[in-house]
Structure 1
Amino acid sequence: MKEWEIFAVKYADRNARTRADSFIFDDNHDAPHAMDYFIWVLRHGSRVIVVDTGYDDAEGTARGRPIRMSPTEALAPLNIDPKAVTDIIVTHLHYDHAGGLHLFPNAQIHLQAAEMQYATGPCMCHDTLRMPFTAGHVCEAIHRLYNGKLSFYRGDHVLEDGLSLHLIGGHSRGLQAVRVHTSAGWMVLASDASHFYENVLKSKPFPIVVDVEDMLSGYDTLKRLANRPELIIPGHDPLVRDLFEHGPADHITRLDRGPIKDIPL
């Protein structure tokens, strides 16, 4: 079975947050709690698959959440030309995961059908549920669909040898995690199925949620998919950059060899 390399590419962060922004019913709700924003890269020889696309400077300005570097700049140390990327796994269509789709014009998008149905359906009549989406990003995905550049999945799916997609839901209706075979064992890119280690390891739901039961059940799914808990990679936890080895640039972390430290929880 293939063993993939995995890189976490940080392009933005947000420090003006508290634990109330990360956990429901947290006793220490007003303590600071920073968040990092990542794109992930899977590589096996010359084969490259990008997981999520981040968002660009225009989106950052519109939301008051500036980025440190554009997704294209962030990927450059890995010698990745966004126009040459052929496949992108989109874990869900929230702005910070699908906001850079236009930067990868030639890529086939791999998405859960439930996510498109959710992002274009009656749930979007509610301001609270619509807030994490941006219409232009969803429309970009629809344009790809009509150009034959979008593949839909309905639940779990083996995409390639050593690489599978798993419908989780919870945070967004069609959110999917990515299970990857590595030299350290089966690793799971949780994306926003678990924003932080503390969400999954202590069963503490994240406040932006469409279905709390799905979110909590998703934590059990992540634990089942990974060979061990430390091989679950949360979607936004700054601890990732401390627990794993550095990559070819300061903002890039290599994941596939496993953590070099224990999770401090």
Structure 2
Amino acid sequence: MTYEIHAIRYGQMDRMRRDNFLHLDDHDGPMPLDFFIWVITGDHGTFVVDTGFDQTVADRRNRTLLRPIHAALEATGTDPATVKDVIITHLHWDHAGNHDLFPQARYHLQEKEMAFATGPCMCNHTMNRPFEVEDVQHMVKRVFEGRVCFHDGSKEIAPGLSLHWVGGHSGGLQVVRVKTRRGWVVLASDATHYYENFEKAAPFPIVANVGDAVRAFRTLRELATSDAHVIPGHDPLVLQRYPSSGLGEGIVRLDADPV
């Protein structure tokens, strides 16, 4: 059993190197950030990883939305209305929006993330700033609708597809391990925003627990076939390192060998 994986860039923002590492970088300069969602397809169905943000949130947070999430998904032949499984790596604003797109989906979330996003840490603005309260409220609503599948640690949700808690960046951050034709690919999401965070064991500065963030780098290596099978959550280099899916600009195949 192997899967195809499409990485879809749907937004972007300008940043500097000093913004992307917990400790200041001595060689400052531009280091832009891309926003991605991912679509995993195989014999066991279609799995959407993260749900992005919409234009309202983009305007409020001064980010560039390159394409609405529904259009991004439709470019891969994915109809959001028919998706059965959505994996939320964590509940930050750029990963958990667009609440009405998946009316039939169950949402896969770590128990620790729901506890973190509704617990005492959210009384502090530094901790709650990466969250949109509406995203958290909608996830609570889905709980009461019976549409959230909670996980505690590691869980295989389909043959060759598993979720793994790492924490660090957010209290309940999880990564996604996928069996592909080239081996085990790990969608790291924000366990490593950029390749360089992972390669230098240098966490991104938005972090709930530094110790967990550093340990997450080791977990990524343990889960992936090689370092080249770890996919960062926001690095523009992803679009340079992987071949086009042939589905339009900003969509690449992660199950294919890097170019």
User: Same fold judged by TM-score > 0.5?
Assistant: yes
Q: Which amino acid aligns with 1:8?
A: A
**How many correspondences in the alignment?**
258
Find 1:119's aligned residue among 117, 120, 129.
117
Q: What aligned pairs does 1:36-115 form with structure 2 within 5 A after superposition?
A: 36-45=34-43, 47-115=45-113
Name the CA distance, whole Å, in 2 between partners of 1:36 and 1:19.
14
How far the C-alpha of 1:59 sits from its partner, in A, is 0.8
Closer, same or farther: CA 250–225 of 1 in aligned 2, 3 Å: same
Which consecutive residues of structure 1, in runs of 5 or more, have no partner in the other structure? 261-265
Name the CA distance, whole Å, in 1 between partners of 2:62 and 2:177.
33
Name the CA distance, whole Å, in 2 between partners of 1:182 and 1:230.
13
* TM, length-normalised to structure 1: 0.95
Name the CA distance, whole Å, in 2 between partners of 1:89 and 1:53.
9
Farther-moved stretch of structure 1 (174-183 vs 245-254): 245-254
Q: Which amino acid aligns with 1:109?
A: Y
Find 2:151's aligned residue among 134, 150, 153.
153
How far the C-alpha of 1:45 sits from its partner, in A, is 4.1
Q: Which amino acid aligns with 1:34?
A: P
Q: Which amino acid aligns with 1:32?
A: P
Equivalence for 1:256: 255
* TM, length-normalised to structure 2: 0.97
Equivalence for 2:30: 32
Which consecutive residues of structure 2, in runs of 5 or more, have no partner in the other structure? none
Task: Specify the SS of the correspondent of 1:222.
Answer: helix
Task: Specify the SS of the correspondent of 2:29.
Answer: coil
Q: What aligned pairs does 1:120-199 form with structure 2 within 5 A after superposition?
A: 120-199=118-197
Name the CA distance, whole Å, in 1 between partners of 2:102 and 2:54.
12
Q: Which amino acid aligns with 2:6?
A: F
Equivalence for 1:219: 217
Q: Residue 54 of structure 1 contacts residue 95 of structure 1 at CA under 8 Å; is this kept in 2?
A: yes
Q: Percent identity?
A: 45
Name the CA distance, whole Å, in 2 between partners of 1:92 and 1:101.
14
